[in-house]
Amino acid sequence: MNPTPEREALVLSQYGHLWAKTAEKAEGLLGAGETELNRIILMMRRDFGADFSDPVLIKKNQERDLERRKTGFILDRQHIRSVEVDSPTATLMIEALKMRTLMELTRGAERIVELGAGWGKNLFKLWLYGAPLDAEYHALELTPEARNLAKRVAQSAAPKMPFFTHAFDYYRPDFSMFAEAKPTVVFSHHSLEQIPSVGERLFEAIKGIPGLIRVVHLEPVGFQVPGATWLENVRPDRMEYIDSLNRAFATKRDQNLNLYPILRSMELEGSIRLTRVRKHFCSILLKNATTLLVWEPNGTPSLTTPETQRDDLQEPPPQPSVWTRLRRKVGKRILGETNAGSQIH
């Protein structure tokens, strides 16, 4: 499906602006003589280093922090309250989980490709987490501001990293830059979210990359995925509540509404196999939680087949009987507990 011209202009101007302001932060650091990649990518983040020069971006970040304190975040199948954990600490915990997961899923790849890569922060972080020295790292991105920034960071602080940038638009997927067959893992992180309705054409084009092993999506699409077993030790109504928050946020922002259904229908047709579906895998903002979807083209032998984990195919837990529910209610009354505020821990 093609974007409306208004949507295309909005995405280009919003992200062009964000990445231009991030480039200002980077220039400040590089101009002061900073050469350590780890310090540069940390200080360029919203939560760290100098504030952005734009008051609108500063306000937006403050609002995000306040919201995260209020609603908590998701990590390791648990909904965690922010009591002592400040926002930057939560960011680092979630980042570690995502990077460890990507490290596992890119093992054995000689070409690692991120779609909608922004300024390449995930590829740089993968490198810092220990991804292979001799693999190629490709940042595919729509906005020239982010591609230029990625090149500037790579040249200044990661000169040994085999890092490449390419112009890329999800609506016109073209992977002709990858002519040679090499074990390849493609991933996206909160970028396919920008495509309200994605068509099979994109996935067919990805399947055409010579040497493709696996595709990993870390995208806020958990509300599209069936299943009520993805949080530990909570009642289904809390999971439904988080689902509804995510659905409302994606709808309001005109974000993706069909990534999981389209991959599932391709699986049922036999053209791909879904190996991991981890619904609302983790979140920085509870209403925009990240879901992990991993697929492989059918008929392609994997280098290593990762363990299959499917939250979408789990049986719902048995509902407690009326008597059990009644006994629990009476028990709670005796203990003086109430249901107030039970939507969020």
Binding site for ligand SAM (CB under 6 A): 11, 15, 116-118, 121-122, 141-143, 146, 168-171, 189-191, 194
What would the two tokens of residue 305 be?
């087949």
- Name the residue nearer to ligand SAM (CB basis): 110 or 254: 254
- Name the residue nearer to ligand SAM (CB basis): 1 or 66: 1
- Name the residue nearer to ligand SAM (CB basis): 221 or 231: 221
Shortest separation between residue 42's beta carbon and ligand SAM, angstroms: 13
Sole residue written with tokens 């493709």 = 212
- Name the residue nearer to ligand SAM (CB basis): 11 or 99: 11
Shortest separation between residue 258's beta carbon and ligand SAM, angstroms: 15
Q: How many residues does the chain have?
A: 345
Q: In what order do the strands lie in the sheet with 111-115?
A: 163-167, 136-141, 111-115, 184-189, 212-219, 290-297, 272-282, 309-310
| Closest to 245 in 3D by CA, of 223, 218, 217 | 223
DSSP for 232-283, written as a single string = TT--HHHHHHHHHHHHHHHHHTT--S-HHHHHHHHHHHTSEEEEEEEEEEE-
Shortest separation between residue 235's beta carbon and ligand SAM, angstroms: 32
What would the two tokens of residue 267 be?
């699986």
115: helix, strand or coil: strand
Shortest separation between residue 142's beta carbon and ligand SAM, angstroms: 4
- Name the residue nearer to ligand SAM (CB basis): 142 or 274: 142
166: helix, strand or coil: strand
Shortest separation between residue 52's beta carbon and ligand SAM, angstroms: 15
Shortest separation between residue 15's beta carbon and ligand SAM, angstroms: 4
Of the CA atoms within 13 Å of residue 55, those in its CB half-sphere come to 0
- Name the residue nearer to ligand SAM (CB basis): 97 or 344: 97
**Other CB atoms within 10 A of residue 229 CB:** 16
User: Residues 6 or more apart from 166 whose CB is under 8 A from it?
Assistant: 138, 139, 140, 141, 147, 177
- Name the residue nearer to ligand SAM (CB basis): 129 or 171: 171
CA 234 – CA 344 distance, rounded (Å): 10
**Other CB atoms within 10 A of residue 226 CB:** 13
- Name the residue nearer to ligand SAM (CB basis): 170 or 223: 170
CA 37 – CA 155 distance, rounded (Å): 10
| φ, ψ for residue 76, nearest 5 deg | 55, 50
- Name the residue nearer to ligand SAM (CB basis): 166 or 182: 166
CA 48 – CA 69 distance, rounded (Å): 17
